[in-house]
Structure 1
Amino acid sequence: MLRYLPFLLVLALWIYAFIDCLNTPENEVRGLPKLAWVFVILLFGEVLVGPVAWLVAGRPRARTRPAPRRWVAPDDNPEFLRSLRPDEDGPKG
């Protein structure tokens, strides 16, 4: 049973790289055209060259989340600005 583990790991990486390549938009692929990457993954997948090359050189860079917006001054905060508006129910001068 344990002797099949390397084969299954290679197969899993091969399938992951292939599906990831197919799901990546054409304009985000780096290095080669998307169709070329599909052929590289399929032809060189058995020896791990294709999938590893895709993960290292062809896959788009990881997207980072934008930092949460921090208010630097009270007048940048919309809630503070709303609190400055005169109340419609309050006394009028």
Structure 2
Amino acid sequence: MHAWRPGQQFPSPSASPLASLLAVALALVGLVIGAVLLVILLPVAVIALLALGVRARWRLRAAARAAHERAADEHAVGRANVRVRPAQGPDE
């Protein structure tokens, strides 16, 4: 083995065909695993976000319904507190 001289490149560790084939195979396996995870996890994430949105909409509707009922109750109580003079009958 000879000494390294300035300007000379080091031999590449993946210079052998087997090593480069292994690197390509590992890269492809990584891409396939990534694609499978994306195909599985992306719909799960979308469904989870949609479910959270639907749940938030239900909560908003329930809060609006409760506020409406509370306002109706307060209106009814307010009307019940109004004192109305009894009608003057014909005999009085």
TM-score range, shorter chain: 0.3 to 0.5
TM-score (normalizing by structure 2):
0.33
- Which of the two has higher C-alpha Rg? 2
TM-score (normalizing by structure 1):
0.32
Q: Which has the higher contact order (CA 8 A, sep 6+)?
A: 1
